[in-house]
Chain A
Amino acid sequence: MKAPNIRMGGLLAAPAVLYMVMFFVVPSLILFVYSFWTAASYRIMPDFVFSNYLNSLMSPLFWTVTINAILIGLVTASITLVLAIPVGYYLVYVSRSQVILYLILITWFSSYLVRIYAWRTLLGTSGVLNTILIQAGIVDTPVGVFLFSRFAVAITLIHIYLPFCILLVVSSLSEIKKDLVDAARDLGASPLGAFFRVIAPNAANGLVGAFMLTFVMVAGDYVTPQMLGGSSGQTTGLLIADQFRKTGNWPLGAAQAFLMFLVSIVIYLSVIGLGRATGLIVKRRPSKRAGV
């Protein structure tokens, strides 16, 4: 029974695996190979040079936009996680409210571009926020800095990725039994105390995962900075996208994409390291999920 079962399994998995190898693994490898090629006047030539990487690393522009992307990413992902935790906590431990869950899903499935557009109309000089502020007498003239600033980019990215982050938090909190939280509360812990001393250490891996996924999405999002960031909001993503769409220097764009990937890994390791150093992340006990 067992052996043919596994062979059958392999056979059934084959189409999906083959598809992902052909259209995900192979393209990623080609992109990696491209990053060592050279480009001259819109022609791309096979080569083996490190100049795409070296030139990027030596370019002040690359560092400016990358630091911008990292800052926007860290700030946005942190705020997103901080907002996602109370909602996740509420959904897992207080009330499994279907209404709230579906409201979150509706925002998650509402169009990405529509949400960028929404913030554009909200934050513009003749936008809703400014007209409200003027009519309330808080400001006399429209505040121009709302739009085309890091603030605009950050608030829009939070809005776009918060539903996704909430769902990740819900799934990581679901692994921690309510009894554990109740026990902590019975022993006199405050709700915040229970969160930091019981939930956070147990859910640390899931929460770090939620933070990192949000960071990667946010730091790699180039449409929002392009639409709302003005000149101050340029990020690596936009730089990379422009190499493929405008400049035509694909090898350089490929190298920068892999550098961005490397940056994400460094950030991930730093977050884990920071968590271990502060004691918020404890090594996973192997017995925890053994029963599943």
Chain B
Amino acid sequence: MKFIYTFLIVINILNFNLLKADEIKTENEIAKNLRCLICQGQSVYDSDSEFAISLKLVIKNKIQQGMSEEEIYSFLKMKYGEWILYDPVFNKNTYFLWLLPILIFLVGGAIITRKFYYKK
């Protein structure tokens, strides 16, 4: 009986650890996708500024409250604007940025096909 009891406790603790590990993982993932506003060229994850430390704490609290990753991003976007996100959203200011690689790819592909097939 005692053995089962201890076994259950151990299982419980292990489970709890897994949950915690998951939380920390998403926490870090979110922090890596955020720009530290007062330290140029650093993510919130990398920075140890007062702002970044607080922001990491906020993310942790929000996850514990059950907010999803997307919800946290939109919350921060509302507070600080789009500049805080490293991943720019597709809109009229950024469509050039998003479409340029595809455009270059297509042009390159066109040049290659011309060279290889039309010469024959």
Whether A associates with B in a native complex is no
> A residues engaging B (CB < 8 A)?
none
> B residues engaging A (CB < 8 A)?
none
